[in-house]
Structure 1
């Protein structure tokens, strides 16, 4: 059993309003604070139309609740469908498998540029639905690029340093469905999404009205409820490694229902922004100098490496290598 306690909280995370930051430098300062403390924040004034968000949520609901099994062929952990209990995100305390199903959709512009066809089941490939999915990916990409520019400045780098390493090769929109489940008599080994950190650079998470997301904050599992008009943004493992541990990739989970509202089907949509395959992930700028000269910082970074399942002493790794290591650890196979 986890030794962490639980604290419900309606203001679990800082709120960053893009409209309040008229210069990239101002945004960088806000991001620096959020990403070196919680590693999570609410983002307001993001510019993604609420109507589009609701339309894509509707597509997701229809897919998971009405599409037949022929539309849900098993994917590879990076694209396509994952079934209920196929995934166990918590590598420390694995249970019965996560009580959720999902669909990974790639940035179709990248596939077109490379002359590759992304297989999409007929239900999602229907023209109007496909256009909505692509538009949603585009909008999330625009927001992610703004954040990456601020993060680069926060690390003392050129403004486009991080943004230009993300062309959409491994951008993934993950539609998620947590099936309805009684909040009474829950098996202690069951969880909707086990405690984990994300693989990539940053994640943009859209939640519907049903709560359940928690993050570790000061050693306490803390609720991160849906906040109207906000997207939840968090740092992923690739950027934690890339920043020499300066930015935090924080463990989070989705708990089983605790009341009648949470017992309903829960839907969320996560946009994972990953670095391109050939991007060299090496601690950036002053981070590398610090790791070379400060034993405490170096030891802390080695602990980060150990938690991510990387070989001791790792300092150079490509985005593609890192992603493959993490997918293999989660699904037990290479994609």
Structure 2
């Protein structure tokens, strides 16, 4: 399928009305596919509007996340879980991770891996971030599939904040809306990259990706040079869909320039992950991005976002070409485990299991 033009917003990201995906009109679908192809090939990012996700639901999910992060430290610490390698669930506090560490080159040239083995891809390019080591100035809360899918060693339940009576239902509904939208977009990818909208369906019958809230607390002073709210990194899976609260900070590397991302209230930020870039034969980009402290003088307001990470079945074999132009065959779960091990997560203490999996409100 030939690429068409995305809708550039100055030096920023294309804003694409994706309503044509569900229109039943072949011409409208082809137009959306061409615009998505152009955006994913140039920046690896775009802003989706006309996506059909209820803005009220997105706002409710962001509000619920804000309520959680506004809870006391003891309450949030009670939402920690010990998780197996490659699994993210529950609450992680300030300094629990450094995103830039997962972007660092890994030793060894391994390009093929089984479900339990190491798995590495070539780093797409130098992110140009001068200080990759400091922990991120963020705290996070993550859920996985609900109910849990059979994902072998990646099978895990969720933990829910019982002191927030509407949180669980809101977040389950939001995750399901994100799963449906991500699947529609992946079918656009199949149409563009394989001339078959169903080409990638078999890879996501038991997806293991998380839905994760990121909270960047307010800052009274500017942090030391090089420290960021979120270090430069690429995402690991197929697609990421991000809802934002309107506060600035997200930046995407376009060429040699870090470009601030702006998103209208009804928009969702979409980006390509490492594994979809591989499946595309390096036609699509898994782009560097980060969360910077805003320009200007402090104080800086808090910022909250929710990222839905579409990630294939743990045992899916991803065949294609890496950013260095080398053929690669990699198992999705092994790649995720490798990246999260690099991330530098602090292992949280176990929490009693009575919080798991019950619908409480």
Q: Same fold (TM over 0.5)?
A: yes
Q: Which residue of 2 aligns with 1:192?
A: 229
State yes or no: 1:154 paired with 2:192.
Answer: yes
Of 270-279 and 148-157, deviating more is 148-157
2:5 aligns to what?
none
TM score, norm. by length of structure 2 = 0.76
Aligned to 2:126: none
Corresponding position of 1:246: 283
Deviation at 1:164, TM superposition (A): 3.2
Q: 2 CA distance for matches of 1:75 and 1:258?
A: 37
User: Judging changes above 3 Å, is the alpha-carbon distance between structure 1 residues 260 and 56 closer, same or farther for their aligned structure 2 residues?
Assistant: farther
Q: How does 1:7-18 map to 2 (within 5 A)?
A: 12-18=12-18
Give how far 1:334 is off: 10
Within the candidate set 243, 263, 275, 2:312 is matched to: 275
Specify the alignment match of 2:135 in structure 1. Answer: 97
Q: CA deviation at 1:254?
A: 0.4
Q: CA deviation at 1:88?
A: 0.8
Does the CA contact (< 8 Å) of 1:196 and 1:252 recur in 2? yes
**Is 1:300 the counterpart of 2:324 in the alignment?**
yes
**Aligned counterparts, 1:16-165, within 5 A:** 16-20=16-20, 22-23=25-26, 24-67=29-72, 68-73=75-80, 76=83, 78-91=88-101, 92=104, 93-111=131-149, 118-123=157-162, 128-165=166-203
- 2:259 alignment partner, SS class: strand
Q: Which stretches of structure 1, 4 residues or more, deviate above 4 A after TM superposition?
A: 74-77, 332-335
Q: Which consecutive residues of structure 1, in runs of 5 or more, have no partner in the other structure?
A: 1-8, 284-290, 292-297, 303-313
Distance 1:72 1:83 in 2: 10
Flag structure 2 segments of 5+ consecutive residues without an equivalent.
1-8, 105-130, 349-361
The question of whether the paired residues in 1 share the 8 Å contact of 2:68 and 2:161 is answered with no
- TM-superposed CA distance for 1:82, in Å, is 1.6
Q: Cα distance, 1:16 vs. partner?
A: 1.1
State the distance in 2 between where 1:111 and 1:31 align.
30
* Alpha-carbon contact 1:74-1:83 (below 8 Å) kept: no
Note if contact 2:44-2:284 (Cα within 8 Å) is conserved in structure 1. Answer: yes
Distance 2:10 2:66 in 1: 26
- Secondary structure of the equivalent of 1:301? coil
SS at match of 2:162: helix
How far apart, in 1, do the equivalents of 2:292 and 2:346 lie? Answer: 26
**Is the CA contact 2:14–2:47 (under 8 Å) kept in the aligned structure 1?**
yes
Give the secondary-structure state (helix, strand or coil) at the position aligned to 1:282. Answer: strand
Higher RCO structure, 1 or 2 (CA under 8 Å, sep 6+): 2
Aligned partners of 2:249 and 2:93: how far apart in 1? 20
Shift of 1:109: 3.2
**Inter-CA distance 262–202: structure 2 relative to 1 (3 Å threshold):** farther
Backbone CA RMSD of aligned residues: 2.7
Summarize the Cα distance change of 1:35–1:162 in structure 2 as closer, same or farther, 3 Å threshold: same
Q: Deviations over 1:200-228 (max 9, x none)?
A: 10000001021000000121000002322
* Aligned residues of 1:179 and 1:266 also touching (Cα < 8 A): yes
Give the Cα separation in 1 of the matches to 2:299 and 2:201: 37
> Which structure shows the bigger proportion of residues in helix conformation?
1
Given that residues 25 and 150 in structure 1 are in contact (C-alpha distance below 8 angstroms), is that contact kept between their aligned partners in structure 2? no
